[in-house]
């Protein structure tokens, strides 16, 4: 909105009056000084035009402005034009400044747009990184869980290894004790008897006969014990004659020693299994029978070997007192190795071992192992 400055108006009026009054005076300097003052006061062209018009009207009684070709009017115009110069200059500068400002604004807008694009890219990168970090965290969690699981398995494995080592040690102790009791002692006895024979040969034929018979019994006991050890460690009959004869031999011996009835029904095709698999079946039957003899208080055991689709199934069933299978297998107390060993052996050849046991029904150990009989080539 145009506005005037009264001090400036008065100065303008006075300067214009002086200029018009002196015919020869130059307008330039005074008028431009007024123009500068107008710029300093913040006036624009229109403000100065109003001041000028007001001054001309005020001076009208003193100078004749009415004539169209009035020299006063022309000179007043020159004064006004000179006064406008600083204002015009200032306005040019302002316009230039505005242009510069607009340019800067445009540059700023372009920068802002570029920044916004960069920002969006950054946001996308951050989001990507965040989801990467999440995936990393998730995979860290997973590997931590796997690590813990593997630690647990290592612990279990170490425990099992210790148990196997101590079981082996116990077995050796047992064998050593039995060798001492059942082989060495009879041998010492034989030696004593032989010495007595030497001394007592003169006592007559009758006493010689009874001494020899006693010595023979001692020798028989030792031979039987050695045979039993050999059979239990690795029955030669398994390699030489097969699984079924080996089971018969083992069962016969056990039945005689433990007062058990053992019945075997076996499908002959089982002998087509590789020896390693037949050994697994033999060891499972051996452990199951030993368990029956040791824990079941059973009177009768049956061993049944039958073909099944793509497999062979062996079941050892007793009529004993049964036991809580899951509780024993999952118990944290130091385990015995029989059941665990059976299971491991069967798993090792791709088979599956199950144990069913319930009061009144006894226990059934079932091993199913893969078997595909070779079809004879035509």
Number of residues that bind ligand ATP (CB under 6 A): 15
For residue 323, the partner it binds in Mg ion, ligand ATP, none, with Cβ less than 5 to 8 A by kind, is ligand ATP
- Check residue 320 and report its DSSP letter: S
The Cα 282–Cα 235 span in angstroms is 10
Of 24-32, 34-42, 220-228, 294-302, the segment contacting ligand ATP by CB under 6 A is 294-302
Q: What angle do CA 327, 330, 335 make, to 5 degrees?
A: 100
* Residue choice 323, 344, 349, 356 for contact with ligand ATP (CB under 6 A): 323
Q: How many CB atoms lie within 10 A of CB 362?
A: 19
Q: How far is the CB of 178 from ligand ATP (least distance, A)?
A: 15
Q: How far is the CB of 295 from ligand ATP (least distance, A)?
A: 4
The Cα 262–Cα 255 span in angstroms is 6
Counting contacts by CB under 6 A, is residue 304 touching ligand ATP?
A: no
Site string for ligand ATP, 132-171 (x = CB under 6 A): ----------------------------------------
Tell me which H or E stretch contains 146. Answer: helix 71-179
- The size of the chain, in residues, is 378
The Cα 49–Cα 4 span in angstroms is 10
Q: How far is the CB of 170 from ligand ATP (least distance, A)?
A: 8
Of 81-89, 102-110, 200-208, 292-300, the segment contacting ligand ATP by CB under 6 A is 292-300
* Residue choice 36, 89, 248, 295 for contact with ligand ATP (CB under 6 A): 295
Counting contacts by CB under 6 A, is residue 328 touching ligand ATP?
A: yes
* Residue choice 363, 364, 369, 371 for contact with ligand ATP (CB under 6 A): 363
Counting contacts by CB under 6 A, is residue 255 touching ligand ATP?
A: no
List 305's β-bridge partners, or say none: 266, 314
For residue 318, the partner it binds in ligand ATP, Mg ion, none, with Cβ less than 5 to 8 A by kind, is ligand ATP
* Residue choice 8, 20, 84, 292 for contact with ligand ATP (CB under 6 A): 292
Nearest to 348 by CA among 292, 290, 243, 274: 274
307 in Cβ contact with 269 (< 8 Å): yes
The Cα 297–Cα 370 span in angstroms is 32
359 in Cβ contact with 351 (< 8 Å): no
Residues that bind ligand ATP (CB under 6 A): 291-292, 294-296, 318, 320-321, 323, 328, 336-339, 363
């Amino acid at each position: 909105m145009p506005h005037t400055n009264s001090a400036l108006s008065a100065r303008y009026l006075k300067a214009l009056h002086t200029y018009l009054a002196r015919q020869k005076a130059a307008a330039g300097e005074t008028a431009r000084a007024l123009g500068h003052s107008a710029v300093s006061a913040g006036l624009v062209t229109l403000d100065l035009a109003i001041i000028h018009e007001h001054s001309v009207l005020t001076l009208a009684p003193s100078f004749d402005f009415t004539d169209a070709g009035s020299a006063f009017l022309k000179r007043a115009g020159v004064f006004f034009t000179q006064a406008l110069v600083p204002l015009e200059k200032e306005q040019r500068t302002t316009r230039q400044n505005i242009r510069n400002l607009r340019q800067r604004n445009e540059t700023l807008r372009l920068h802002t747009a570029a920044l916004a694009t960069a920002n969006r890219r950054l946001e996308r990168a951050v989001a990507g990184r965040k989801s990467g970090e999440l995936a990393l965290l998730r995979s860290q969690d997973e590997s931590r869980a796997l690590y813990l699981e593997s630690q647990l398995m290592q612990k279990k494995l170490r425990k099992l290894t210790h148990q196997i080592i101590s079981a082996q040690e116990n077995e050796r102790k047992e064998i050593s004790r039995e060798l001492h009791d059942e082989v060495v002692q009879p041998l010492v006895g034989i030696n004593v008897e032989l010495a007595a024979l030497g001394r007592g040969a003169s006592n007559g034929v009758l006493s010689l006969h009874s001494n020899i018979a006693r010595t023979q019994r001692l020798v028989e006991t030792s031979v039987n014990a050695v045979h039993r050890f050999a059979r239990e460690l690795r029955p030669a009959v398994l390699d030489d004659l097969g699984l079924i004869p080996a089971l018969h031999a083992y069962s016969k011996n056990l039945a005689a020693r433990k007062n058990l009835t053992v019945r075997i029904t076996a499908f002959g095709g089982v002998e087509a299994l590789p020896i390693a698999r037949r050994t697994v079946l033999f060891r499972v039957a051996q452990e199951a029978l030993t368990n029956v003899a040791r824990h079941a208080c059973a009177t009768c055991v049956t061993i049944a070997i039958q073909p099944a689709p793509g497999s062979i199934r062996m079941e050892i069933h007793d009529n004993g007192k049964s036991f809580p299978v899951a509780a024993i297998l999952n118990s944290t107390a130091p385990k015995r190795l029989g059941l665990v060993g059976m299971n491991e052996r069967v798993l090792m050849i791709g088979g599956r071992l199950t144990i069913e046991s319930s009061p009144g029904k006894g226990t059934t150990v079932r091993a199913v192992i893969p078997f595909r009989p070779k079809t004879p080539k035509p």
